[in-house]
């Protein structure tokens, strides 16, 4: 069937609400409004206000309430409108969700799922556009997911709800209208492994989320130049599936990491470090990174485009590593 | 003398003595560097924990702060398990991972000492939400200090709990100081019950130095909450006789003020009251002290003999373990 990323997310939520009566959705405007990005449209009518709960604008209270409800035996899905707003709930996410199990000597589990929008590309400027998933991937106790395809939008939620620990799902804002074919019986997917989205032999391009499409476009351009790029979608940002991208680099001997986060102290730095730690002797060129410019995201279209990783920049980085090595 | 009342008062006195003496031993152990970390003492505030806890059922939940030895003991966490936590042993109530500020006992629905001021309120609100969604009649008691009332999380949770009529008993231990900053220097409106009542929930102030007054107020609040009336807020007016922590030289409080409050010692007050009513003889009081001292001695010996976690197990309990 033809569907969109938004509809696939909605179907995943609907499916979870049907499968398990402990599941409920809460967040700002998830009910009567239908979700800031329309993900939960129609669910209030179908499941009622106890299970599709509109909250006041109190990120810390409703994220913390999700943590408490999860601890007490329910399976909440908490929606935060955008990653920038999640900073208002950072105390609860770090000091409670990620920490309670350890601090209690294993007694308290937090089987909570938090979904939020991340990323730029829609001219929403500096308080609605950042990519902070790399920060969250720094935190032990969390699992971080970044669905970049229709299959993952449809399939990551259920295994996330089965996870006994907190899971954060980052939905890239530019993907909601992504349309395509999804199998009628599409369902839960694996959330432990990275995926090779395009096999190749000359260079490994490691990415995730909103940059996947850009990397695939770049790979297509490079194919015309006889450069065969393998594109890896990390999918799970914590714990990182090193084995998949390191194995790829052992075959291609070159790597480019593409990350919409800022470069300094980023997830791309972590991926690059793991490649050099585990496959240094296999590299024919230094690892290259393509990241967002180190600037708060500007509004003007041409400036926003210039701040973000783009296919041309990815192509240039690949050319550099391919020509730079032996 | 009414025997049932005398028995009840003796139980309250015993609980307050257990907390007082536990902490007095902790001071000695701390000074001797046998226990470390932060140590926030509850001495002077015992009537609050004991009075409230006595009105809760075993199935009710509890979220508290980093000054929570009293809450844990009054809740029924074995003294040795609390003491072993102070010693960082695997036999501690948080396996030595939490320490003084993070006492947990999920079997007794104690969801921790939270050391971020205000950080426990959202958690308590969520536990209450789960109980309400499952149509359980449990109450979640949430303890915090006057300092928390200045935090955004306090106001977010007052609003959410009142809006959704959640079964939370908000227990504000107003000891007049947020670490070293007095209430009047930090809060524009110092009537804390008034502020809570602006969210449309029953809220009133209680003499937190009188265990019977605390118990009576908590009883009334718990009944309201259990009947489906939504959250209640108690401002428990109390005072810590010791400094904020063992690192605090207590320069910001007037010695005369401390002395005035010590005259209202909740343990002394109940003792006098019981003597006057003929409910407590000298011998009975001595026996009570002896009983608590014996329990403490066993707790310290047992705690110190407890095993330390193997360093190889350092990274356990970050994620769930395969069962």
**pLDDT tens sequence across B107-147:** 999 999 999 999 999 999 999 999 999 999 999 999 999 99
- The reply to whether A288 belongs to the active site is no
Summarize the confidence of residues B274-282 as an average pLDDT: 96
pLDDT at B246 over 90: no
Summarize the confidence of residues B277-291 as an average pLDDT: 97
The set of residues, in sequence order, having a beta carbon less than 8 Å from that of B216 and lying 6+ positions away, is none
> What is the CATH class of B3-313?
alpha beta
A-B Cβ pairs (cutoff 8 Å, strict): 144
Summarize the confidence of residues A259-273 as an average pLDDT: 97
Residues 140-169 of chain B whose Cβ lies under 8 A from any Cβ of chain A: 152-153, 156-157, 159-160, 163
Among the partner residues A61, A66, A105, nearest to B317 by beta-carbon distance = A105
ipTM: 0.94
Instruction: Return the number of other C-beta atoms located less than 10 Å from residue B298's C-beta.
Output: 13
- The 3-class SS string of chain B reads CCHHHHHHHHHHHHHHHHHHHHHHHHHHHHHCCCCCCCCCCCCCCHHHHHHHHCCCCCCCEEEEECCCHHHHHHHCCCHHHHHHHHCCCCCCCCCCCCCCCCCCEHHHCEEEEECCCCCHHHHHHHHHHHHHHCCCCCCEEEEEEHHHHHCHHHHHHHHHHHHCCCCEEEEEEECCEECCEEHHHHCCCCCHHHHHHCCCCCEEEEECCCHHHHHHHHHHHHHHHHHHHCCEEEEEECCCCCCCCCCCCCCCCCHHHHHHHHCCCHHHHHHHHHHHCCCCCHHHHHHHHHHHHHHHHHHHHHHHHCCCCCHHHCCCCCCCCCC
CA gap A253, A229 in Å, rounded: 11
Cβ distance A101 to B318 less than 8 Å, yes or no, reads yes
- Inform me whether the C-beta atom of residue A141 falls under 8 Å from chain B C-beta atoms: yes
pLDDT at A251 over 90: yes
CA gap A303, A292 in Å, rounded: 12
**pLDDT tens sequence across B218-237:** 999 999 999 999 999 999 99
Question: Which chain A residues have a beta carbon less than 8 Å from that of B123?
Answer: 64-65, 67-68, 71, 92, 96
Residue A15 tokens, joined: 């499916």
- Inform me whether the C-beta atom of residue A104 falls under 8 Å from chain B C-beta atoms: yes
Cβ distance A164 to B61 less than 8 Å, yes or no, reads no
pLDDT at B25 over 90: yes
Question: Which chain B residues have a beta carbon less than 8 Å from that of A67?
Answer: 122-123, 126
Confidence of residue A324 (pLDDT cuts 50, 70, 90): confident
Among the partner residues B112, B124, B134, nearest to A104 by beta-carbon distance = B112
Question: Which chain A residues have a beta carbon less than 8 Å from that of B153?
Answer: 60-61, 64, 91
Query: Which residue of chain A comes nearest to B63, CA vs CA?
Result: A68
Percentage of residues in chain B having pLDDT higher than 90: 96
Among the partner residues B90, B134, B319, nearest to A141 by beta-carbon distance = B319
Instruction: Return the number of other C-beta atoms located less than 10 Å from residue B159's C-beta.
Output: 20
Instruction: Return the number of other C-beta atoms located less than 10 Å from residue A177's C-beta.
Output: 11
Residue B215: alpha-carbon gap to chain centroid: 14
Confidence of residue B323 (pLDDT cuts 50, 70, 90): low
The overall average pLDDT reported for chain B is 97
- Inform me whether the C-beta atom of residue B231 falls under 8 Å from chain A C-beta atoms: no
pLDDT at A285 over 60: yes
What is the domain partition of chain A in residue ranges?
2-181, 195-324
Summarize the confidence of residues B293-300 as an average pLDDT: 98
Contact B270, B12 (CB under 8 A): yes
State the pLDDT at residue A151.
98
Cβ distance A71 to B104 less than 8 Å, yes or no, reads no
Summarize the confidence of residues A215-236 as an average pLDDT: 98
Residues 255-314 of chain A whose Cβ lies under 8 A from any Cβ of chain B: none
Query: Which residue of chain A comes nearest to B112, CA vs CA?
Result: A104
Q: Which residue has the higher pLDDT, A76 or B2?
A: A76
Using DSSP's 3-state secondary structure scheme, residue A143 falls into strand
Read off φ and ψ for residue A323, nearest 5 degrees.
Answer: -85, -20
Query: Which residue of chain A comes nearest to B164, CA vs CA?
Result: A55
First CA to last CA distance, chain B: 55
Q: Identify the H or E element spanning A197.
A: strand A195-198
Q: Kindly report the CATH number that applies to the domain delimited by A2-181.
A: 3.40.50.970
**pLDDT tens sequence across B44-83:** 999 999 999 999 999 999 999 999 999 999 999 999 999 9
pLDDT at A177 over 90: yes
Interface test with A, best of B319, B322, B323 (most A CBs within 10 A): B319
Question: Which chain A residues have a beta carbon less than 8 Å from that of B156?
Answer: 56, 58, 60-61
The overall average pLDDT reported for chain A is 97
Question: Is the N-terminal amide bond of A239 cis, ω within 30° of 0?
Answer: yes
- Could you identify the residue written with the tokens 């920490």? A99
Fold that domain A195-324 belongs to in CATH = Rossmann fold (3.40.50)
Confidence of residue A325 (pLDDT cuts 50, 70, 90): low
- Inform me whether the C-beta atom of residue B200 falls under 8 Å from chain A C-beta atoms: no
pLDDT at B245 over 90: no
Interface test with B, best of A17, A20, A53, A61 (most B CBs within 10 A): A61
Catalytic residue among A7, A28, A79, A128: A128
């Amino acid at each position: 069937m033809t569907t969109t990323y938004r509809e696939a997310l909605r179907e995943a939520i609907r499916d979870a609400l049907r499968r398990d009566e402990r599941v409920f959705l809460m967040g700002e405007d998830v009910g009567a409004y239908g979700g800031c990005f329309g993900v939960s449209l129609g669910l209030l009518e179908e499941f009622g206000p106890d299970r599709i709960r509109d909250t006041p604008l109190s990120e810390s209270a409703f994220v913390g309430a999700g943590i408490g409800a999860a601890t007490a035996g329910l399976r909440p899905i908490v929606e935060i409108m955008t990653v920038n707003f999640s900073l208002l709930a950072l105390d609860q996410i770090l000091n409670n969700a990620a920490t309670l199990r350890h601090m209690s000597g294993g007694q308290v589990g937090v089987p909570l799922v938090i979904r939020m929008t991340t990323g730029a590309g829609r001219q929403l400027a500096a308080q609605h556009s950042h990519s902070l998933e790399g920060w969250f991937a720094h935190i032990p106790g969390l699992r971080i997911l970044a669905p970049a395809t229709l299959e993952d939008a449809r399939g990551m939620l259920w295994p996330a709800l089965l996870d006994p620990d907190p899971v954060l799902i980052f939905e890239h804002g530019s993907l909601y209208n992504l349309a395509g074919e999804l199998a009628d019986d599409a369902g839960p997917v694996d959330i432990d492994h990275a995926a090779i989205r395009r096999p190749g032999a000359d260079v490994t391009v490691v990415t995730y989320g909103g940059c996947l499409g850009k990397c695939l476009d770049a790979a297509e351009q490079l194919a015309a130049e006889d450069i065969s790029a393998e594109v890896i979608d990390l999918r799970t940002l914590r714990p990182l599936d090193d084995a998949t991208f390191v194995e790829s680099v052992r075959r291609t001997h070159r790597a480019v990491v593409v990350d919409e986060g800022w470069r300094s102290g980023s997830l791309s730095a972590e991926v690059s470090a793991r490649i050099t730690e585990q496959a240094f002797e296999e590299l024919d060129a230094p690892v290259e990174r393509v990241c967002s410019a180190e600037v708060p995201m500007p509004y003007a279209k041409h400036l926003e485009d210039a701040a973000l990783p783009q296919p041309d920049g990815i192509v240039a980085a690949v050319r550099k590593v391919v020509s730079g090595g032996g | 003398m009414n025997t049932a009342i005398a028995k009840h008062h003796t139980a309250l006195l015993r609980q307050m003595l257990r907390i007082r003496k536990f902490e007095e031993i902790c001071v000695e152990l701390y000074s001797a560097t046998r226990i470390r970390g932060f140590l926030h003492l509850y001495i002077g505030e015992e009537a609050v924990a004991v009075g409230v806890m006595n009105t809760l059922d075993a199935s009710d939940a509890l979220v508290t702060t980093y000054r929570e030895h009293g809450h844990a003991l009054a809740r029924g966490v074995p003294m040795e398990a609390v003491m072993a936590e102070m010693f960082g042993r695997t036999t501690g109530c948080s396996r030595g991972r939490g320490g003084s500020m993070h006492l947990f006992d999920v079997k007794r629905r104690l969801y921790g000492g939270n050391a971020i001021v205000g950080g426990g309120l959202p958690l308590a609100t969520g536990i209450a939400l789960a109980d309400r969604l499952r149509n359980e009649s449990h109450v979640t008691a949430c303890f915090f200090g006057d300092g928390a009332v200045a935090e955004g999380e306090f106001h977010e949770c007052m609003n959410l709990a009142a809006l959704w009529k959640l079964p939370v008993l908000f227990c504000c231990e107003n000891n007049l100081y947020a670490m070293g900053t007095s209430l009047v220097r930090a809060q524009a409106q110092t009537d804390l019950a008034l502020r809570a009542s602006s969210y449309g929930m029953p809220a009133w102030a209680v003499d937190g130095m009188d265990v019977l007054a605390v118990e009576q107020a908590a009883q009334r609040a718990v009944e309201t909450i259990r009947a489906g009336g939504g959250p209640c807020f108690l401002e428990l007016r109390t005072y810590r006789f010791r400094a904020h922590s063992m690192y605090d030289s207590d320069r910001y409080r007037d010695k005369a003020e401390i002395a005035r409050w010590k005259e209202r010692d909740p343990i002394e007050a109940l003792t006098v009251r019981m003597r006057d009513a003929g409910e407590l003889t000298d011998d009975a009081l001595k026996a009570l002290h002896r009983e608590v001292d014996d329990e403490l001695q066993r707790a310290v010996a047992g705690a110190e003999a407890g095993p330390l976690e193997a360093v190889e197990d350092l990274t356990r309990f970050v994620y769930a373990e395969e069962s």
